[in-house]
Structure 1
Amino acid sequence: MPGVSAVVMDRSRRRVLAVRRSDNGTWTPVTGIIDPGEQPAQAAVREVAEEAGIDCTPLRLLEVRSLPPVVHPNGDHAQYLDLCFLCEAQDDAAPYPADGENTEARWFPLEAPPPMNERFTAQLALALEDRPEARFRR
């Protein structure tokens, strides 16, 4: 299934948005599934608005990676292709958990992000490198 991750920075590029997932309590960038017929960058914008109440602009594709297979709590099996976008908040609005998928949403200083897994830590590092090309796993 196609999915997106959105590494969202504020306009000053000093803070990064993170949400705390309600299912496992971990901090992550905003993530979600691309709706049928939806453009990937628009899916990232929609997910950020739905999950954190932040309007953002996609700037560039950071990374494309296939994620390991997962089994969801309802028993569904899935495997996701993740398209990770660097996005910029359109204003200085305060994020909030806008839907039931997260219990918290907030800005973190770039030098002190929340604890995140290897994938999200690597994606944040790619955003901070500020290189124009996307990364692809080989």
Structure 2
Amino acid sequence: MSRRIDYYDDPNAPAANSMVPSVNVVIENEAGEILLIERSDNGNWAIPGGAIDLGESMAQAGVRETKEETGIDCEIVDVLGIYSDPKHIILYTSNGEARQEFSILLRARTTGGQLTPSSESTQVHWVGREQLTGLQMHSSMRRRIDHYLAPGRTLYFD
């Protein structure tokens, strides 16, 4: 099975050999819960997201990735941050790609659908803020969620 391994400021990380624009989408429901998936490739919890395909906009990619990974339909409402830290390397074991992080954090609202896991997500849940700390999550994903939850947040970029 193909795996995704995240490295952050790790001397054992492979050298980056690609950079692919991607999106992550944070959606909060009326109860204040955040939409999360448990990733099938590494077991970590994350907000939905993935690469922007040729011929689609970042908003289209966010809508598509959210639907594919969670079963939830959404519309993008704004941009929250841009993450491009060269210390974050993502290794895909299926093809040896070692990708430097380049992710645009989007905020969306639901427009329909129902929670449905996929080949990329073993579980999909609305998670309360008080439950976030107990979940296994890569620090880069936790940072995105923390920026979203920060009072008086502004556009984040690195």
TM bracket (short chain): 0.7 to 0.9
Answering whether residue 80 of structure 2 is matched by residue 37 of structure 1, we say no
Say how many residue pairs are matched. 134
CA pair 78-118 structure 1, distance change in 2 beyond 3 A: closer
- Counterpart in the other structure of 2:79: 61
What is the SS of the residue equivalent to 2:130?
coil
Q: Does the 8 A contact of 1:20 with 1:27 survive in 2?
A: yes
CA pair 136-86 structure 1, distance change in 2 beyond 3 A: same
CA offset at residue 106 of structure 1? 0.9
CA offset at residue 131 of structure 1? 4.4
Q: Structure 2: any 5+ residue segments left out of the alignment?
A: 1-19
Match of 1:3 among 22, 41, 47: 22
CA offset at residue 132 of structure 1? 6.6
What is the SS of the residue equivalent to 1:124?
helix
Over the matched positions of the two proteins, sequence identity in percent amounts to: 29
CA offset at residue 71 of structure 1? 2.8
CA offset at residue 120 of structure 1? 1.7
Q: Structure 1: any 5+ residue segments left out of the alignment?
A: none
What is the SS of the residue equivalent to 1:69?
strand
CA offset at residue 125 of structure 1? 2.0
